[in-house]
Amino acid sequence: PERSCVLDYLGTHQHLATDLRLTAEPDGSLLIRSGEHRFREGPVDVRVPHLIGGDAEVRESFDDATGRFRIRVSVANRRFGPLFGYEGTFRARYVDALRHGVRAGLRPVREEARA
């Protein structure tokens, strides 16, 4: 909370930690922008240089007319330009996790407390 961001671990082994900054946009969409990236494994905690990192921008919204969520993702490197992106729609299904439990494989690979 003191940094006004969410820390997310990315990748299959979740070694890449990135700051995410969330903004509610005037049109009702949620804009998520990535910040600093860090490689973390055990005691190793190093900043990823901008030369090899990517800046992500994700925009999510709900389309009342179709009853679907919309998402648009773009990731670019400051020096080399666009790396990848996608856009599409999806429907969400909400499940009572207290009643049904957490589906196998859904929990993060790593969970840790950091100051």
> Tell me: the pLDDT tens digits for 61-109?
999 999 999 999 999 998 999 999 999 999 999 889 899 888 887 777 7
Q: What separation, in Å, do the N-terminal and C-terminal C-alpha atoms of the chain show?
A: 11
CA–CA gap between residue 89 and residue 71 (Å, rounded) = 6
Residue 115 lies in a domain: no
Mean of pLDDT values over 31-57:
91
Contact 90, 69 (CB under 8 A): yes
Residue 114 lies in a domain: no
CA–CA gap between residue 36 and residue 53 (Å, rounded) = 9
Strand partners, 68: 63
pTM over 0.85: no
Domain extent for 74: 6-100
Mean of pLDDT values over 47-70:
94
Contact 53, 37 (CB under 8 A): yes
**Mean pLDDT score of the chain:** 90
Q: Does the pLDDT at position 7 exceed 70?
A: yes
Residue 10 lies in a domain: yes
Total structural domains within the chain: 1
Residue 106 lies in a domain: no
What's the confidence (pLDDT) of residue 113?
A: 65
